[in-house]
Each structure stands twice: as C-alpha cells, then as structure tokens.
Amino acid sequence: MATAHDRAVLQSIFHPDAPFGDLSDELEEQETLNGEATFDPELLEQATQLEIQGIEAAEAGDLQKALERFDLAIQLLPERAAAYNNRAQAFRLKGNTASALEDLGMALQLSKGVGRVACQAFVQRGLIQRLQGHEQEAHRDFEQAARLGSAFARRQLVLMNPYAALCNQMLSEMIKKLRGPSKEPQTEASSGEKVCR
C-alpha cells in the first residue's frame, strides 16, 4: 500500500501543473471532520451525484446544464461548500466572474477556510484576482492555498515573485549557454529580445 508521500510524489510526476490534484489525503480527512460527516448520508450522496453530473456536463461544454446540476446540489445541501466551489468554476468558464467570486466567497465561508474545498476556492479566487490585475489579493489567496497544501499555489507565488522570475530567467540563460549555440534559425524572440511567457 502506498504512503501519502508516495501518492504525492506520483501526483507530482503525472500531474505537475494540476491546481487541484495536488492536495493531500489529510485535507480530505479534515474536511470530513469539519462538516461533511454531519450531512444526511442520503442527501449527501444525491448532492454528490448532482455535482458529478455537473462536472461531466462542464467537461462536455454544456455549462448551462452544469450550472443547473450545481444549483440542484446547492438546493439539497445549501450548507455544503463543495457545490459552491464547483458552480464557481462553471460561472468562471461562462465568463461570469462576479458570480464566480460570490460562490467562492460562500465556499470559503462554509468551509471556514480549511480543507480541500477551501484550498481549491483560494486557488480559483487567486487565479481570477490575478487575471483581473489584483496582484496583492491574488498573492494572499495563493498564500492561503499554499498553507493548505497546494503545490500549484506555491508555484504561482514563485511566478509572482519578481526576484524569483529574474533568477529563473538568469538560470535559463545560463543553461542555454552551457548547452552551446542553438541550430535554430534566428527569430525575433531568439535574437536576444526578451519575450514574456
């Protein structure tokens, strides 16, 4: 049987850039202790199935159906944070960031800022804040998610750090020099001009 560390290593190898797949089993257990266990098991099962249907609909590109499924899950268990977090993702994909931020706030409130759902909500809200140019707010959210165990959030914090970005750029240039001259044709980007990625 694999240990939690083994699973984390495998997760990092197979999904290095996954924002939500980098969470530990401890967060799952903590979430159960923080409230999931207090829900009626039958209602919890129904809500979970509706969320799964919503996620599948969103993956298939049917965001309206996804939102409807998440709405039903929220109607069944309005005190459960996960459905708000999932609906926020659908709202974000649909371009409705105001509703996404509202649902993320609700997910964080209901989760009390701890557990897997809180970690995911902090990551989602941090991404939205960053896209909107609210760097300080994004930084705070990524810090919270990193404290909850998100490797993705930690990478975002590194990318947001101007000193780390400069260090990464210098390290990349040194590695290129060590490898020797490139045999690729010179383009605007490869002729020495800096291009942001």
In-domain check, residue 133: yes
Please work out, in degrees rounded to the nearest 5, the angle formed at the alpha carbon of residue 93 by the alpha carbons of 89 and 97: 75
Residue 119 is part of a domain; what is its CATH number? Answer: 1.25.40.10
Report the pLDDT value the prediction gives residue 154, as an integer from 0 to 100.
93
Report the pLDDT value the prediction gives residue 4, as an integer from 0 to 100.
54
The two structure tokens encoding residue 105:
């706030």
In-domain check, residue 63: yes
Residues 6+ apart with CB under 8 A from 162: none
Give the position of tokens 């984390």: 8
In-domain check, residue 193: no
Report the pLDDT value the prediction gives residue 56, as an integer from 0 to 100.
95
Helix (H, G, I), strand (E, B) or coil at 183: coil
Residue 21 to residue 137: CA distance in whole angstroms: 23
Residue 82 to residue 73: CA distance in whole angstroms: 9
The two structure tokens encoding residue 77:
């268990």
In-domain check, residue 184: no
Residue-number span of the structural domain to which 37 is assigned? 16-179
**CA-wise closest residue to 70 among 60, 82, 79, 59:** 82
In-domain check, residue 7: no
In-domain check, residue 197: no
Report the domain count for the chain. 1
In-domain check, residue 122: yes
In-domain check, residue 170: yes
Report the pLDDT value the prediction gives residue 183, as an integer from 0 to 100.
57
In the chain (197 residues long), the average pLDDT of successive 10-residue segments reads 49 47 48 67 95 95 97 97 96 96 98 95 97 96 96 91 75 85 51 36
Report the pLDDT value the prediction gives residue 161, as an integer from 0 to 100.
83
